[in-house]
Structure 1
């Protein structure tokens, strides 16, 4: 487990990163990548969407272009303060401070679930993905963006010491163990040589669905 896959360390990390997060983030996860993922997400006006690990609200802003019923959750008070400055505490977004592995919402509370740039800090990703499935209505989309596993052996060792990096095979395992049956993974990258994101689009099983995991149809 990487040093930042610890809730207390991650909160301390973001206490300082929150000051420059909006400046640094576009070099890793920019608007073009976010908007492409939003197309795959396929939400509609009026859908209630949960943004887990919302941070300062970069993805939240994109979600609001598609629906006006967005809920944001983050464990970092400092990141949320930045988001409050953009959207207010309850004006355009219902913000909550909380844990991805223990979501403070009832079953089937949301039409869709989004999380970008958060899974790498989850000590138990499978538990958090089960929570995503629990709070999202059957048939609803779950989109998760995380860091793709480095191809360089040396960098891979360093990455593993810091936080969770994973490849498509590991993503298959996590989503299947969490109870998802239909999902696919896509690689996104700002430019050649820059960090790669692995974006998974899953679908919450309908009641009585088969247990075998199959890819979902290409939403493009």
Structure 2
């Protein structure tokens, strides 16, 4: 990236501008789209009643669903306007705060669990951001993290890097995250794929995990702090 490029300012501006667009999409994504299986997946691995932070909470709808599932939830997002919207929609029963994934406004070992859905790819330093997630999670705590698969349309946000332009979207693949996590103090507990439209169960049956991940729109992990 160029010396004059400020990733934090660029990312904040992008998500401030996307509040209306994102809030229109969010409910359907969580109820019947690519994120519909995430809350049930979390319930299988993180006990009800746990303190969970939703990192990159956007409009707050995912945090609301976590709360409905019996968790004590704090939502965090880099965009002040996203946080304003989340507070307006859900603020009476949930906590929301503005913060950067690279420098979370929480003490060490604060949370029993974390949720970070398509957040890590939008950081300047994914390894450093993953270390920050680990810092605020209690020992043995679990993180549900979703990484965009190689077929996901939002990956187009990183395309202009090929022209030497500054971008705020990294191109991390699910298998790269898995290796990064394993090398930096995390245990992979489980995961599942959300596949691109047109991929059937018959298509993927018997394929090794890397090939399954290659067909995904999204791969959702549960990882545990070691």
| TM-score normalised to structure 1 length | 0.78
2:98 match:
97
Residue number in structure 2 paired with 1:215: none
Q: CA deviation at 1:150?
A: 3.5
CA distance in 2, matches of 1:198, 1:92: 30
CA–CA separation in structure 2 for the residues paired with 1:86 and 1:190? 31
Q: How far apart are residue 166 of structure 1 and its match?
A: 2.5
Q: How many residues align?
A: 199
Could you tell me which of 75, 78, 82 is aligned with 2:78? 75
Q: TM-score, normalised by structure 2?
A: 0.76
User: Gaps spanning 5+ residues in structure 1: where?
Assistant: 206-220
Report 1 or 2 for greater relative contact order, CA contacts < 8 Å, sequence distance ≥ 6.
1
Are residue 114 (structure 1) and residue 135 (structure 2) matched? no
| Partner Cα distance (1:95, 1:156) in 2 | 27
Residue 82 of structure 1 and its aligned partner are, at CA, apart by 1.0
Write the mapping of 1:159-174 to structure 2, written as runs, cut at 5 A. Answer: 162=167, 163-174=169-180
| Structure 1 pair 169–94 and aligned structure 2 pair: CA distance change class (3 A) | same
Q: What secondary structure, in the 3-state scheme, does the structure 1 residue paired with 2:128 have?
A: helix
Q: CA deviation digits over 1:62-90, x for unaligned, max 9?
A: 111222410111110011111011112xx
Q: Is the 8 A contact 1:41 1:141 kept in 2?
A: no
Counterpart of 2:133 in structure 1 is 132
- Give the aligned CA root-mean-square deviation in angstroms: 3.0
User: Any stretches of 5+ residues in structure 2 without a counterpart?
Assistant: 200-214
Q: String of CA shifts for 1:188-218, please: whole Å, max 9, x gaps.
A: 147338970121210112xxxxxxxxxxxxx
Report whether the alignment pairs 1:200 with 2:221: yes
The question of whether the paired residues in 2 share the 8 Å contact of 1:5 and 1:121 is answered with no
* 1:187 aligned partner: 193
Partners of 2:181 and 2:6 in 1: CA distance: 18
Q: Distance in 1 between matches of 2:14 and 2:157?
A: 21
Q: Report the counterpart of residue 60 of structure 1 in structure 2.
A: 63
Change beyond 3 A, Cα 1:17–1:156 = closer
1:31 counterpart = 2:31: yes
Quick one: structure 1 residues 118 and 157, their matched pair in 2 at CA, closer, same or farther if it must change by over 3 Å? closer
User: Equivalent residue for 2:145?
Assistant: 144
CA–CA separation in structure 2 for the residues paired with 1:8 and 1:151? 25
69 and 156 in structure 1: CA distance in 2 versus 1, 3 angstrom threshold: closer
Per-residue CA distance 1:124-167 (angstroms, 9 max, x = gap): 11111112122112222101112112399xx6972866512332
Residue 14 of structure 1 pairs with residue 35 of structure 2 = no
